[in-house]
Amino acid sequence: MRIIVTGSIAYDYLMSFPGSFQEHFLPDHLQRISLSFLVDTMEKRRGGCAPNIAYTLALLGERPAIMGAAGQDFGEYRSWLERYGIDTSLVRQIPDKFTASFFCNTDQQNNQIASFYTGAMAHAGELSFRDAGPCDLAIISPNDPGAMLRHAEECRELGIRYIYDPGQQCARAGGDELKAGIIGAAILICNDYEFELIRQKTGLGEGQVLEHCEALVVTRGEKGSVIYHDSRRLEVPAVPAVRETDPTGVGDAFRAGFMKGLAIGANHEVCGRLGSVAATYALEHLGGQSHMFTWQEFQERYARHFGAGAFAG
C-alpha cells in the first residue's frame, strides 16, 4: 500500500514552564493580557504533522511518502527522514523561505501555549496529487488552508481514500471550508475540542458526519478515543504511559497507528487500539520523533494491554 502523508513540515521549539499557566490569568483583566513566562528548558526538534505521522508509520513497517513544502534549512531534516525509509521526493524545498516553526510552551499540567510561523508551508498548495503517482491511502493533516482544500478536492476526483484531519486549523477555518474537507473523506479524525468547533461551525453532529464519512474518530487524551461507525459508538481506552514526558506529537502518533491498522486491513476498533499504543510511545518522549520501537515490541505492548490475539476482530 502506498501511503501519502500531507501536512505541515516544521521545526519544533519546545519549552517547559515550571508552574501553571492558569495561575497567571486574572479573570478581571482578560480584556488586556500581557504575560511572559520564564521557562526552564528549550529543545529544538524536528516536527510538523506530516513528518511526525510518517515517522511513526515508518517505525510500524510502512514506507510513507510526505507531500509538503519546506524551506532552505530542510536539507539535514530530509536526510534524517530518508534514513528511516520515508520517501521525501514529494517535498518541495523553497529556497528563499525558512521551514515552518512551532513555538510551544508546556506547563506542569501539560497545558500548552503555542505559536506557529508559516514560512515555506505557504507554498504547500502548489503541490498536487495529480503529480504524486499512485496512492492507496492519504491523510490530509494540518497544513496551509488552501493546500488542504485542494488536496481534499483532488482526492475525491481521483478516487483516493483519504483521512481528513483538520486539527489546529479548526480554529481558523470557516464552516464551509471544514465541510469541504469532511464531505467525501473516508474518515474524519480530530480531538474532542476540535470536534466541538466543527459542530459549531458546520452544524454537523456525529450522525451528520457519518452521512458523508465511513467513520468519525474523536480522541480524548487520557480518556482514549471514541469511534463512530455504522451507527455504533466504540470506546477505545488509552494505553498507560510508563512516564508522561511531553504531549507534543501524541495525536500524530495516534493517527499513524490508526493508519497502520487500515493498511493491514484491521477493523476500526483495532485501528483505534493501534493508535492508542502508538500515542503512548510518543507521550513517553520529548517531541514527535524521539520515540523508538520495533514492530515486534509494538505488537507485544499491544497484546499486554488489549490481550493476545493482537489484531483479531
pLDDT at 311 over 80: no
Spans of all domains in the chain: 3-19+42-306
Dihedral Cα 282, 225, 192, 7, nearest 10 deg: 50
Check if 252 is active-site.
yes
- Nearest-angstrom CA–CA distance, 183 and 29: 41
pLDDT of residue 287: 83
> How far does the chain reach from its first CA to its final CA, in angstroms?
21
Q: Are 275 and 237 in contact (CB under 8 A)?
A: no
In the predicted model, is pLDDT for residue 33 greater than 90?
Answer: no
pLDDT tens, residue by residue, 190-244: 999 999 999 999 999 999 999 999 999 999 999 999 999 998 999 999 999 999 9
- For the stretch 57-107, pLDDT in tens is 999 999 999 999 999 999 999 999 999 999 999 999 999 999 999 898 999
| Those residues with Cβ within 8 angstroms of residue 38's Cβ, 6 or more apart along the chain or in another chain | 17
pLDDT at 153 over 60: yes
Query: Which pLDDT value is given to residue 253?
Result: 98
Domain 3-19+42-306 has CATH 3.40.1190.20: yes
Residue 236 in grid coordinates? 477505545
C-alpha distance from residue 279 to each of 93, 124, 163, 237 (Å): 29, 27, 18, 12
Q: Which string of b and e fits 156-191 if b means at least 16 CB within 10 Å?
A: eeeebebbbbbbbbbeebeeebbbbbbbebbbbbbb
Edge-to-edge strand ranges of the sheet holding 41-47: 41-47, 10-16, 100-106, 112-117
Q: What is the residue-averaged pLDDT of the chain?
A: 94
pTM of structure: 0.89
- Predicted confidence at residue 307, as pLDDT, reads 87
289 DSSP 8-state letter: S
Q: Which of 12, 87, 144, 252 is catalytic?
A: 252
The torsion defined by the Cα of 60, 187, 70 and 103, in degrees rounded to 10, comes to -90
Query: According to the model, what pLDDT value does residue 203 have?
Result: 97
- pLDDT value, residue 31: 86
Q: If you compute the radius of gyration of the chain from its CA atoms, what whole number of angstroms results? A: 19
pLDDT for residue 180 is more than 90: yes
Give the burial class of 43: count Cβ atoms within 10 A of its Cβ; 0-12 exposed, 13-18 middle, 19 or more buried.
Answer: middle
Would you say 279 and 253 are in contact if contact means Cβ atoms under 8 Å apart?
A: yes
What's the angle, vertex CA 269, arms to CA 296 and CA 169, rounded to 5?
95
User: 89 versus 26: which is more confidently predicted?
Assistant: 89
At 271-300, the pLDDT tens digits run 999 999 999 999 999 889 999 999 999 999
In three-state secondary structure terms, 117 is strand
Whether 190 and 220 have beta carbons less than 8 Å apart is answered as: no
Q: Residue 252 belongs to what H/E stretch?
A: helix 250-263
Tell me how many degrees the CA angle 23-26-31 measures, rounded to the nearest 5: 140
